[in-house]
Structure 1
C-alpha cells in the first residue's frame, strides 16, 4: 500500500541522511552498477553485494574482538579436545577426592588409649560383630550416629518407609536427600523424609508408573476438608508435588535404545518428540527390523494363550544360542500369561535335563542366572506392572489376547485400561537396548478400542500397528502413525515446520550442494529424533563414513557448551561416528577451502 511504501521511503531517507561522504559515494556507484545488470543477474548481483557487506562486518567485529576469530580457527579443535579431556579427568578426580575426604574424616577423628589402640569406633565394631542380642539398625543409629557411624556410613540407600522408621525425626538430619523414581512415591510417604534433609533432589518421570499399592486404602473422605493446602489433595506422587512447587530440569538425551525405532513411539506419544538419540553410523546389508512383529495362531482360553507362550519359549531357546548372547526379558499383559510362560520355561529345563542335552541346558541355565557386574541380568518374565527399572538387550512381548473358542477377540486390558495405564505401556516399550519382539495372535487393525475411557488401550493398539509397520519395513506407515500421535515432527511431509528448519540449515544445504558437485553421496538430517546429524557422507555400501555438523538448529540443540562439545561428541563417537564441524564464518569466508578440507577427510577414511 501507499502508506507502507511511504514509511519505507521515509526510513530510507533517514538512513541516507546519517551516511558519511564515503558511504554516500558508494551508494552512487552501486546504483550505477545495478542499472547495468539485466534480468535474473540482478538478484545474483545484489546477493554478492550483501555478502561483501557481511564479510566486511565479520572482519570489523573480529578486529574489535579477536577472540571471535579463534572460535572458528584451527586452534578450536585442539581447544575442544582439551576441554573434553579435562572434563573426563575431572570426573575421575572427583570420585578420588570424595573417597579421600571421607577417609580423612574417619582417620582425623580416631582417638587412642594409653596402649595406642584405637577406641573411637570400638563400640560400633563390637555391636555389629557380636552373634547374640543383636541391636536393631534403629538402635545403632540412635546410639552411635554422632559418635562415628555417620562418618563410617555417610550414604544410606533405603525406601521412604524405612527412612521414616529407622532414622530420628530431626530437621536437617541429612545434608542431602535424593528421591529416585519419585513418580511412584506417595506424597505422604515422601514428606517425612524430605523434612530430614537440608537439601533435596527429586528425580522421576511423570510419564512412567504412578504410586500403586493394591493393599493400601488412601484416606479421601471428609478429613480432606481439614487440609489447609489444597495442593496436598490435588497431587498424588512426590514428583507431582515437586513439579508444582520447584523449577524442573528435563533430561532430553536417551541412552538405552541403540536403535531409534525402539524409542520413537514413546518419544512421540509421551514426550512430544523432545528426546534425542544419536543415530548409528552404519548401514545393514539386508533389512533387520529393530522391532519384529510375530504373528502367532494362538487362542484365548482360561485367561491365557498357550500357543503364544510356547512360541515365546521357542524364541528364547533360539536367542540364547546366538554368538553375542543377548540378555532377554519377557513382558506379558496379564498375570496368567506370565505364570504360563514361567511354567513352560521350567518344563523346558526339565525336558532338557531328561534328554541329557547338556549343551542347551547349560546355555538356558546360564541365561536365566546371568549376572553383569554383580547385577542380575538373567531372563525375567514379568507382567506390564512390574518392569520399571529393568532393561535388557532384547525384550519379548507376549500380548496374550486372542480370539476365544467362539471367535470373539478377547481384550480385557486390566490396569492398562485404567487411569494412568498408558504410563505402564510407556515403561514396557522402553526396556529394550537392541531389539523388541512382539508375539501377537491377531491383526492390530481388528482390535476394537472405541469404547476406551482412558488412552491406554488406544495407544496400545497404535503401538501394535507401529510394531507391525517397522517389522515390515513400511517406514511411511510408521511415520503416519507417529504423526497421528499429536506431535509436529520434522519428518511429516505436510507440516510447515520442515520448511522452517530448511531455512535454518541453509549453511548445511550449501555445503551439501558443494560436496555433491564433486561427486560425494550426501544424506541430510540423519536421525529420527529431535537431534539430527546435519550431513553424512556415504560410501558405496551406504555406511556413514563422515558426519558433518553445521551451525544451525541441530548444533544449538545443546543447552550448554559442555553438552555440545563433550557429551554429544562422546555419544557420536560411541555410536561409531567420525564427525567434522564446519563453522559458518569459515565457509562464508572461503567456501572452496571448506569443501576441499571435507574431501581430504573422506579420502583419508
Structure 2
C-alpha cells in the first residue's frame, strides 16, 4: 500500500464521478431534444389548431393570447414533448390542467407536510407514480391566519388537518435523508437534532468557533413588555440590529422572524419609519433589494422553505409590565403541533441565529399539562442563553488511538495545539489543528481511514462528498492512511508540517494587502481627533460640552492595536461628538433657552449616562421627573434624536461584548465605569 498513490486514485475517482454526473445531465438533455413534437392540426379555423401548430401561432401573436388552461388542453402533447417537467402548486394543477388530458410518469410532492390530502389528490390522479417528500417534524397544514377571532388574547388556530405526508407515512416505505447541509455551524442545528430528530442527522463540524458571524447569539430585552400581541421595545431593538447588519454586513443575507403576525408587522412599520429619517439605512435597504436574497420580515407561520445567512428571531412574548410574570400563553407554540412550528423557526439560519427575547427560560413554567411546544421553547431559551457566543457544541474528546497521541505530541512540539474527535456523534474529525494566528479557527483537519470512514455506505460518500462538504464549510482536510503511519510515521508528520507551513504562508499572503493598506493610511488630523471646544452663546467663556479630563479618554487611538477597549473608546467618542454637535445646534436654534433648561445640560447628560435609556418609554420611566419637567419643551421635542444615538451605540457595544445592566443604572457596568461616563 502506498498512501500517495491511493490519494491520487481517490482524487481521480472524485473527478470521474463529477464528470459522470455532468454527462448524465447532458445525456438527459440530449434525449429530451430527440423527442418528436406532434405537429397537430394546422388547417381550418384557428380555433381548431392543436399542438405545435397552435404553439407556433400563439408565439407569432403579440396580444390576445388564448387562456393558459385552453392552451394546455389543446397543445398538451407538444408542450409535454418540449417541456416534460412541470413545476406547479396544487391549486395551479386544478386550475390549468384539464382532467384526463395530461398524464405524467412521475409526481414529486415537496414540502408534503404542508399539503392536505384533498389538495394533493388531483395531482396524484394525473400521475402514474408518486414520490412524497417532506419533514414530519416541521410545519403541518394550517388555517392559522385564514380564520381568526379578534381578541386581546393570543390568536389560536381554529382548524388543523392532517397532511398528505402524515396520511401516507404508515402505508408505504420511507427513507430518511440524514446528511444536514444548511447549517454552517453545528450550534444552529444541534438543538433541533437533539430534541426533534433523535440525533439522527449527520452534522458536519465548523472550522469556526462561535463569533460575530457564526453560531448563536442571545440578546435579553430586559424592559420588553408584551401587550396586545406586540412587544414594542423588542421590536425597536430588532430594528436597530437590522440597521447595523444591513449597513455593516451587506454581503450577509438576513431574515427576521417573529412569533406572530402583529409583531412582524410592527417591526416592518418601525423599520419603514426609521428608514425615512436615515438616508444610510434607506440606501442599504435599496441595495439589499437588488441582491439574490433580499432580507425579509416574516412570522412563524409563513417562513418554512426560507433560509438566510443570518436569522433574527423575535420571541415576542414577555411580561405585561416591567418586572412582572410571563403569562404562559404562547400562541401557536401552545398548540399540539407547536413544537413543529418551533423546529421550522430554529432551522432557517445558515451561519448565525440571533435571538431577541424579553423572557428567560426560568420565566416559563412546566407542569404535567404543559404542551411539548412550550417545553421545547423553554429548553431552547436555556440552550441559546448558555451557548450564546460560546465556542462550539462539537465534542472535543480525548485521544483514543496511539496514532492520535503520537501525531498531536509531535505537532505540539512544533507549536501547534490540537483537538480530538471534533464534531458531533455521527461525524467528527479525528484531529483538528488550531490556527496559531487565529485561535478561533482550525487551520487544518486530519481524517483517518478507520472508524467513521468505514461506516460510509458508498465509495462516493467516503472519498468525495464528505470532503466536498467540509471544503465548502471552509475546512482544509488531509487524509491520513493508517498503513502509511505504521510504515513511516515521521514522513507523515513531515508532510503535515509542510502543509501547515504552506497554509500559514497563504494566510500571510491574504493578509498582506490589508496590512499595507493600514500602513499607508494618513495620520488623522489632530484637530479632528479631539472633541472641539465650542463656546456657548452665554457669558461663560469656557463652557465646554465635555470636561477636559475626558479629552484624553475620548481621543481615538492612533498607533495601538484596535482591541476591545480601544474600539469601544471610538464608539463612546463618536457618541459624545454627535451629542455635542446636537447640543450646539439646539443652542443656535433656541438662543433664548436658559442654560439650566437646555436638553443636554450636564445634569441630564449624567442621568442619560447612568440609565442609558434607548426609547421614549425608558426615558419616561428611568429619567427623574424633575429633570424632564425642567427641560424646555421646544428642546425636549428632540429627545428621540438623542435616544436613537444612544440606542445605536449601546447595540454596537453589546455586540462587542460589553455588558449593560441598564435596569439598575450603570455604575457597575464594565463599559460605563471604564470610561467614567457617570462623571460626565
Partner of residue 537, structure 1: 433
Partner of residue 533, structure 2: none
Give the Å deviation of 1:511: 4.4
Partner of residue 310, structure 1: 236
Give the Å deviation of 1:338: 1.6
Cα displacement string for residues 291-316 of structure 1 (whole angstroms, at most 9, x for unaligned residues): 21112211122221111111111111
**Within 2, Cα distance between the matches of 1:338 and 1:389?**
18
CA contact (8 A) 2:40 2:52 kept: no
Give the Å deviation of 1:402: 1.7
Q: Does the alignment pair 1:559 with 2:457?
A: yes
Partner of residue 464, structure 1: 381
Partner of residue 31, structure 1: none
Distance 1:394 1:603, change over 3 A: closer
Give the Å deviation of 1:289: 6.4
The correspondence for 2:466, drawn from 568, 578, 581, is 568
CA contact (8 A) 1:300 1:410 kept: no
Give the Å deviation of 1:529: 5.5
**Within 2, Cα distance between the matches of 1:304 and 1:557?**
50
Give the Å deviation of 1:198: 2.7
**Within 2, Cα distance between the matches of 1:580 and 1:144?**
56
Q: Does the alignment pair 1:601 with 2:499?
A: yes
**Within 2, Cα distance between the matches of 1:129 and 1:207?**
49
Partner of residue 60, structure 1: none
The correspondence for 2:421, drawn from 521, 525, 542, is 525
**Within 1, Cα distance between the matches of 2:450 and 2:91?**
49
**Within 1, Cα distance between the matches of 2:433 and 2:363?**
43
Partner of residue 150, structure 2: none
Distance 1:522 1:300, change over 3 A: closer
Partner of residue 105, structure 1: 35
CA contact (8 A) 1:171 1:198 kept: no
Give the Å deviation of 1:86: 1.8
CA contact (8 A) 1:531 1:557 kept: no
Partner of residue 381, structure 1: 297
Give the Å deviation of 1:554: 2.7
The correspondence for 2:176, drawn from 222, 242, 250, is 250
Distance 1:510 1:551, change over 3 A: farther
**Within 2, Cα distance between the matches of 1:120 and 1:138?**
14
* Secondary structure, aligned partner of 1:257: coil
Give the Å deviation of 1:216: 8.8
The correspondence for 1:455, drawn from 372, 377, 393, is 372
Cα displacement string for residues 352-409 of structure 1 (whole angstroms, at most 9, x for unaligned residues): 3xxxx3x432112333x2441xxxx222221111100111121111112121138232
**Within 2, Cα distance between the matches of 1:140 and 1:380?**
36
Q: Does the alignment pair 1:145 with 2:71?
A: no
The correspondence for 2:286, drawn from 358, 365, 369, is 365
Partner of residue 577, structure 2: none
Output aligned runs, 1:192-591, within 5 Å.
192-214=122-144, 236-282=162-208, 290-296=215-221, 297-352=223-278, 357=279, 359-367=280-288, 369-372=289-292, 377-405=293-321, 407-450=324-367, 452-471=369-388, 473=390, 507-509=403-405, 511-512=407-408, 515-516=411-412, 520-528=416-424, 530-541=426-437, 542=439, 543-591=441-489
Give the Å deviation of 1:414: 1.3
Give the Å deviation of 1:139: 2.5
**Within 1, Cα distance between the matches of 2:127 and 2:40?**
29
Question: Gapped runs of 5+ residues in structure 2?
Answer: 44-48, 148-160, 504-680
**Within 2, Cα distance between the matches of 1:592 and 1:427?**
49
**Within 1, Cα distance between the matches of 2:212 and 2:74?**
65
Task: After superposing the two structures, state which structure 1 stretch, 88-97 or 594-603, moved more.
Answer: 594-603
Partner of residue 59, structure 1: none
Greater fraction helix: 1
* Secondary structure, aligned partner of 1:433: strand
**Within 2, Cα distance between the matches of 1:214 and 1:576?**
41
* Secondary structure, aligned partner of 2:471: helix
**Within 1, Cα distance between the matches of 2:273 and 2:60?**
44
Number of residue pairs aligned between Structure 1 and Structure 2: 481
**Within 1, Cα distance between the matches of 2:499 and 2:389?**
37
**Within 2, Cα distance between the matches of 1:84 and 1:553?**
21
Distance 1:461 1:113, change over 3 A: closer
Output aligned runs, 1:26-41, within 5 Å.
none
Distance 1:105 1:248, change over 3 A: same
**Within 2, Cα distance between the matches of 1:411 and 1:262?**
26
Give the Å deviation of 1:276: 2.6
**Structure having greater relative contact order (Cα 8 Å, sep ≥ 6):** 1
**Within 2, Cα distance between the matches of 1:577 and 1:133?**
57
**Within 1, Cα distance between the matches of 2:357 and 2:329?**
15
CA contact (8 A) 2:185 2:214 kept: no
* Secondary structure, aligned partner of 1:176: strand
Distance 1:241 1:512, change over 3 A: farther
TM-score (norm 1): 0.71
Partner of residue 67, structure 2: 136
Distance 1:364 1:161, change over 3 A: closer
Partner of residue 619, structure 2: none
